[in-house]
């Protein structure tokens, strides 16, 4: 199977290559696509060396599937050209997520919604993916009314430039800044651009994408997204009000049986999820600090952690490709 990875030299693109190899996706020929300045350079995949190709070269070669992680403007410019050539596009940018005719997919939740005609498929925002994966089974049982979420997001979510800024600051080196402010020893309550309503685009993604994935526009969501000096994954403090009451033991049981979720919740032994210790390099979503909100009924507190480059991006995209394969849409 011919597979294209668009943005192959970036943080997420590199992780996509790693996940494709680790999950043994049947790639017979890789089309590694990057910006013009990278065309002709070599990268390694599954023990073979491949030269980076231009976008048009990859389109012309008609891959079965193309995994995009090169930004929204690139996706808007080129995704349809791939699709018109018979390629299934799985896009990691925000370009197609809220398009009314495009599916927004977390395979454990809504893979059944995919049809053969879905040639451009949107991968959700990383912070949304980990939250909805934990909340979807609880929504089925108790019905979510409202979500209040605060995120603690890794610098890897911004990209290599942000990681370098943090490392430079830790080593006392002056260099290019990904953020307006220092990130080391700091928290920046600003991810993506500010909107007219005072929220950032990242925060509004969590609102809109959650409703779309869970197929329920009645769910009320409010978010505060914060960049923290962490590598290894995103963490989220989530407060969920349900329509029905619950017992903590039942919540733990539901989560423990949910695909892709690992419960780490034993506070008597100081066991709770952490990005560096638990999530880094893993494909699962980790949930802990599970407790009732003592301030009002039918409300739950959760701490949710996942590797934003893996389940939040690369792994979810590859799992969508695996779904297409399983359904017989690609071969």
Give me the active site residues, please.
126, 234
Task: Tell me which residue of 313, 319, 324, 321 sits closest to 94, measured CA to CA.
Answer: 313
Task: Give the Cα separation of 171 and 168 in Å (integer).
Answer: 5
Secondary structure (3-state) at 287 = strand
- For the chain, strand residue ranges (E) read 2-6, 29-33, 42-45, 48-51, 65-68, 88-91, 120-122, 144-153, 220-227, 234-242, 261-263, 285-292, 299-306
State the CB neighbour count (10 A cutoff) for residue 135. Answer: 27
- Whether residue 122 contacts residue 128, with contact meaning beta carbons closer than 8 Å, is answered with no
Tell me the chain's radius of gyration from C-alpha atoms: 20
Between helix 126-142 and helix 201-213 the angle, nearest 10°, is 40
Task: Tell me which residue of 151, 162, 92 sits closest to 127, measured CA to CA.
Answer: 151
Between helix 315-326 and helix 11-22 the angle, nearest 10°, is 40
Pairing of strands 65-68, 88-91: parallel
- Whether residue 139 contacts residue 243, with contact meaning beta carbons closer than 8 Å, is answered with no
- Whether residue 317 contacts residue 18, with contact meaning beta carbons closer than 8 Å, is answered with no
Tell me the helices (H) and strands (E) count for the chain, helix number first.
9, 13
Report DSSP state, residue 168.
H
Total residue length of the chain: 331
State the CB neighbour count (10 A cutoff) for residue 83. Answer: 17
């Amino acid at each position: 199977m011919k597979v294209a990875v668009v943005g192959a030299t970036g943080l997420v693109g590199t992780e996509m290559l790693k996940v494709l190899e680790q999950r043994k996706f049947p790639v017979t020929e890789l089309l590694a696509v990057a910006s013009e300045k990278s065309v002709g350079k070599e990268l390694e995949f599954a023990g073979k060396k491949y030269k980076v190709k231009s976008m048009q070269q990859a389109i012309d070669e008609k891959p079965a599937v193309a995994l995009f992680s090169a930004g929204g403007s690139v996706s808007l410019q080129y995704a349809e050209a791939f699709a018109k050539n018979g390629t299934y596009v799985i896009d990691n940018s925000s370009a197609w997520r809220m398009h009314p005719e495009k599916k927004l997919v977390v395979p454990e939740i809504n893979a059944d919604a995919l049809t053969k005609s879905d040639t451009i498929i949107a991968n959700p925002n990383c912070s949304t993916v980990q939250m909805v994966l934990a909340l979807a089974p609880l929504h089925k049982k108790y019905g979510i009314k409202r979500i209040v979420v605060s995120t603690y997001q890794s610098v890897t979510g911004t990209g290599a430039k942000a990681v370098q800024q943090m490392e430079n600051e830790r080593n006392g080196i002056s260099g290019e800044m990904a953020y307006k402010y220092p990130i080391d020893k700091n928290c920046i309550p600003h991810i993506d651009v500010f909107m007219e309503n005072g929220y950032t685009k990242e925060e509004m993604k969590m609102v809109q994408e959650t409703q779309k994935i869970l197929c329920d526009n009645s769910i009320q969501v409010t978010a505060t997204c914060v960049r923290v000096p962490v590598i290894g994954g995103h963490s989220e403090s989530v407060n969920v009000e349900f329509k029905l009451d619950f017992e903590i033991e039942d919540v733990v049981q539901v989560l423990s049986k949910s695909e892709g979720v690992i419960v780490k919740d034993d506070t008597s032994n100081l066991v709770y999820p952490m990005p560096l210790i638990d999530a880094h390099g893993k494909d699962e979503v980790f949930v802990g600090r599970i407790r009732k909100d003592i301030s009002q009924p039918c409300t739950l507190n959760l701490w949710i952690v996942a590797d934003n480059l893996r389940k939040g991006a690369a792994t979810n995209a590859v799992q969508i490709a695996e779904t297409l394969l399983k359904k017989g849409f690609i071969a």
